Structure 1
């Protein structure tokens, strides 16, 4: 449920593709990048990992779009 809620919020933040240095960046790429960044922060937090049962599984574009 947490991962689903995070994805919903990230979809609200990234509503369309963008361009960086003239290169189009798909919205799904931005959503996944933000999710992976959050996941890494959580996994690297000893406090969160030791004191909670939080689980953020790996996502890829295929599972995100489904």
Structure 2
């Protein structure tokens, strides 16, 4: 852009388009990984609940 004159409207339009494409790519990645991360967190929480219940049962039997 050095040495030439370009209207700010065109520059802003191009910048907005590139930003929109970048955000769309990020959203696709998030939609791919977030459900898997949520499932992993759910499994870990359930595992910790089962472990604590088993430990409490073990303590009552001793």
Into which bin does the TM-score normalised by the smaller protein fall?
Answer: 0.3 to 0.5
More helix by share: 2
Structure with higher Rg: it is 2
For normalisation by structure 1, the TM-score amounts to 0.34
Higher RCO by CA contacts (8 Å cutoff, separation 6 or greater): 1
Question: Whose strand proportion is higher, 1 or 2?
Answer: 1
Normalising by structure 2, report the TM-score: 0.36
